[in-house]
Amino acid sequence: MPIIADTDLPARLREVCQTVTDWNTAQANGWYMANNASNAPVTNTWFFGESVNHGAAGWCAQTVTAFTADGASDSATYRRDLNNGSWSAWYRIRQSETELDLRYDRIFDEINGGAF
């Protein structure tokens, strides 16, 4: 099986993420990274993420993680979609066990007034 050299791949598919300065430009399938880029979910933060393209201009989904500010209690992961040329707002994705447990505890407290 032939091995494809990293340099033969598009920058967005190479061993290291492609750097962008505006998340709106990362629409082709691939891995991207940026520090304090335009249209990021949070300012002054390093993110890396992926963009998955539907196959037609104006349609894709992005998922990014703040890799210098994440942890078990805050995975700092966000997602948004480009639908027919219009970006949705970024929304949080809670993925760690700690994040989900805290959310379940809060819901339990709201329902039961904090009592078991």
pLDDT (tens digit per residue) in 55-101: 888 999 999 998 866 555 566 889 999 999 999 999 988 765 565 56
pLDDT of residue 19: 96
pLDDT of residue 112: 74
Looking up tokens 């104006």 gives 58
What average pLDDT does range 5-14 have in this prediction? Answer: 82
Give the whole-angstrom CA distance, residue 62 versus residue 51: 4
| Geometric angle at alpha carbon 101, from 96 and 107, rounded to 5° | 130
pLDDT of residue 21: 97
3-state SS assignment for residue 40: coil
Residue 72 has phi, psi (to 5 degrees) of -60, -35
> How is residue 53 written in tokens?
């393209």
Give the whole-angstrom CA distance, residue 51 versus residue 115: 44
Kindly list the domain boundaries of the chain, sorted by start residue.
Answer: 6-112
pLDDT (tens digit per residue) in 10-40: 878 878 899 999 999 999 999 999 999 999 9
